[in-house]
Amino acid sequence: IPMYFIIGIWGGPRRIYAAVKFFLFTMAGSLLMLIAMLVIYYLHHQQFGVLTFDLVAPPWSDDPGLLDTVIPVVGTWWQTQTWLFAAFALAFAIKVPMVPLHTWLPDAHVEAPTAGSVVLAGVLLKMGTYGFLRFALPLFPQASMDFAPFMLGVSVVGIVYGSLVAMVQSDIKKLVAYSSVAHMGFVMLGTFALNVQGLSGSVLQMVNHGLSTGALFLLVGMLYERRHTREISEFGGVARPMPVYAFFFGIVTMSSIGLPMLNGFVGEFLILLGTFLASPWMAVFATSGVVLAAAYMLWMFRRVMFGPVENEANRRLIDLGWREKAVLVAMVVPILWIGVYPHTFLRRIEPSVIELVEHVRRPVAEAPEEAPAARLGREAGPV
């Protein structure tokens, strides 16, 4: 709701259209997820006689949480893992967003103010991927494994489609928005590899995407404040009047395409490694996304930053001030840190990921009487 108002009040010329589209897409998926939550609530009460919406039992309570519910694989269709997973997955897939549910994202990004785009890329999109990790996979382990090939295929389509569409954009912000679709496809690819390497890379790539794409939107916003246009054709030779800006833009661009020693490389490498272990062919097709990312990001960078200064307005551009430099340094430091020494982050990610993988791959009971419920969250803590 706050993002709806941020876009609708402070956005661009088509802000009302973008805000309403964003709200309607999100609400449609959320309503189905709400119904699925009520079904899980009903099943939990049926099994334990407890009325609760707690996912994990609080430390002071002996009553089981919703993660202790054994959700049957077969039985009444609307109470089975397949349909409940589908309801949750649709809501989260819209938020990620996954192709073909992505169409709200470019409009929201382009029309949102710079601050809104940064919040959208850095925080809101991760609600979808976090939802898969924290809710869909632990609650519906068998359905997650059954849907994994389909989700891998859709993720690869998103990577390739997002990259190809980004390549033909004339607006820098829209190019970054479609690159975001491709990068989130990588996150979903690692998630449904359902192994430690893929999931660890997926969680790390969520952080990477927030840093790299958030910084790109900041940089585009800084340029827009000076020129009041985002058309690539309006620029050229910007590195001459703005060398410090070009330096930061270059680092963030390389981070976005996954250059070694920067954060994007670590996340994408782990994701592709995990995907290769799960499905070699999917990994082969997904690798094309890395090549395409280099093509559209470097092509955009060259056209904006280098070449002759043909537009007279570009000669008068003022380089970054101390406030803008401070903001970008705060983004670039973790970009370099993760790229050089990712162990700082991975050692905190892996324990929860290992617990999640073991839980998903554990044999699932057909009915509540046949097996005790797993207590994933209580031992492992949040993913």
Asked, as a colleague might, if the bond just before 100 is cis with ω within 30 of 0, I would say yes
Long-range Cβ contact pairs of 243-249 (< 8 A, separation 24 or more): 243/319, 244/319, 244/320, 244/325, 245/219, 245/319, 245/320, 246/305, 248/215, 248/219, 248/320, 248/325, 248/328, 248/332, 249/219, 249/301, 249/304, 249/305
Residue 369 has pLDDT above 50, yes or no: no
169-193 per-position pLDDT tens digit:
989 999 999 999 999 999 999 999 9
Residue 75 has pLDDT above 80, yes or no: no
Give the C-alpha separation, 164 to 59, whole Å.
49
206-251 per-position pLDDT tens digit:
999 999 999 999 999 999 998 888 899 888 889 999 999 999 999 9
Asked, as a colleague might, if the bond just before 97 is cis with ω within 30 of 0, I would say yes
Name the pTM for this structure: 0.87
Residue 376 has pLDDT above 70, yes or no: no
Residue 367 has pLDDT above 50, yes or no: no
pLDDT of residue 76: 79
194-203 per-position pLDDT tens digit:
999 999 999 9
Give the C-alpha separation, 83 to 137, whole Å.
13
Residue 149 has pLDDT above 90, yes or no: yes
Angle separating helix axes 196-227 and 172-191, nearest 10 degrees: 170
> In sequence order, what DSSP letters do the residues of 70-113 get, joined into one string?
---SSSSGGGSHHHHHHHHHHHHHHHTTPTTS-THHHHHHHHS-
Tokens representing 288 are 């094309």
Q: What is the mean pLDDT of residues 146-163?
A: 94
Tokens representing 331 are 């983004």
Percent of the chain with pLDDT over 70: 95
Least confident of 330-334, 344-348, 372-376: 372-376
Name the nearest CA neighbour of 273 among 180, 202, 360, 361: 202
Query: Integer distance in angstroms from the first to the last C-alpha of the chain?
Result: 25
State the average pLDDT for the chain. Answer: 88
Residue 314 has pLDDT above 80, yes or no: yes
DSSP state letter for 134 = I
Q: What is the mean pLDDT of residues 360-375?
A: 50
How many other β-carbons are positioned within 10 Å of the β-carbon of residue 119? 19
Residue 329 has pLDDT above 90, yes or no: yes
105-128 per-position pLDDT tens digit:
999 999 999 999 999 988 899 999
- When pLDDT is cut at 50, 70 and 90, the band that residue 85 belongs to is very high
pLDDT of residue 363: 63
pLDDT of residue 373: 40
Would you give the distance in Å from CA 352 to the centre of its chain?
19
Q: Is residue 313 within a helix (H) or strand (E), and if so which, with residue range? A: helix 312-315
pLDDT of residue 268: 94
124-138 per-position pLDDT tens digit:
999 999 999 999 999
pLDDT of residue 190: 94
